């Protein structure tokens, strides 16, 4: 990956972490659920949620060893799947 692209992605992840940290604790849990909670909310398996994070279909950050899913990104991805848009990718994976 070229250095400029990596820098853009790193900046985006830093912005996502700042957003997470700026939220009160109760809102953090709501807007950035764990993979387990995201799986419960969507009826998908935890592994499916993890896979979507790995292939950058949804936005997520790691807080320590805990993966936190950006709920807005997950819902946008699921809506795109329902609407038949197969090529949706999370913003951090788009070429700039």
pLDDT tens digits for range 36-70: 999 999 999 999 999 999 999 999 999 889 999 99
In a domain, 96, yes or no: no
Q: How far apart are CA 32 and CA 17, in angstroms?
A: 10
Nearest CA to 66 out of 36, 31, 91, 43 is that of: 36
In a domain, 17, yes or no: yes
Give me the number of domains the chain comprises. Answer: 1
In a domain, 44, yes or no: yes
- Tell me which of 3-7, 12-16, 33-37, 54-58 is least confident: 3-7
On the 0-12 / 13-18 / 19+ scale of CB atoms within 10 A, 35 is buried
Statement: residue 29 has pLDDT above 60: yes
DSSP, residue by residue, 27-58 = HHHHHS-BHHHHHHHHT--HHHHHHHHHTTSS
In a domain, 61, yes or no: yes
Nearest CA to 73 out of 86, 60, 82, 62 is that of: 60
> For residue 62, what are the domain limits?
3-90
Residues 27-35, mean pLDDT to the nearest whole number: 95
In a domain, 75, yes or no: yes
Residues 9-30, mean pLDDT to the nearest whole number: 86
Question: pTM (2 decimals)?
Answer: 0.74
In a domain, 95, yes or no: no
Which has the higher per-residue pLDDT, 27 or 1? 27
Residue 36's pLDDT is 97
């Amino acid at each position: 990956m070229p250095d400029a692209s990596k820098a853009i992605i790193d900046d985006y992840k830093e912005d996502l972490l700042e957003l997470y940290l700026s939220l009160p604790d109760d809102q953090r849990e709501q807007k950035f659920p764990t993979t387990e909670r995201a799986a419960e909310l969507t009826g998908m398996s935890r592994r499916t949620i993890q896979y979507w994070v790995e292939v950058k279909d949804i936005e997520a950050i790691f807080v320590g060893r805990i993966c936190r899913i950006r709920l807005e990104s997950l819902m946008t991805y699921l809506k795109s799947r329902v609407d038949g848009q197969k090529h949706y990718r999370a913003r951090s994976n788009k070429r700039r």
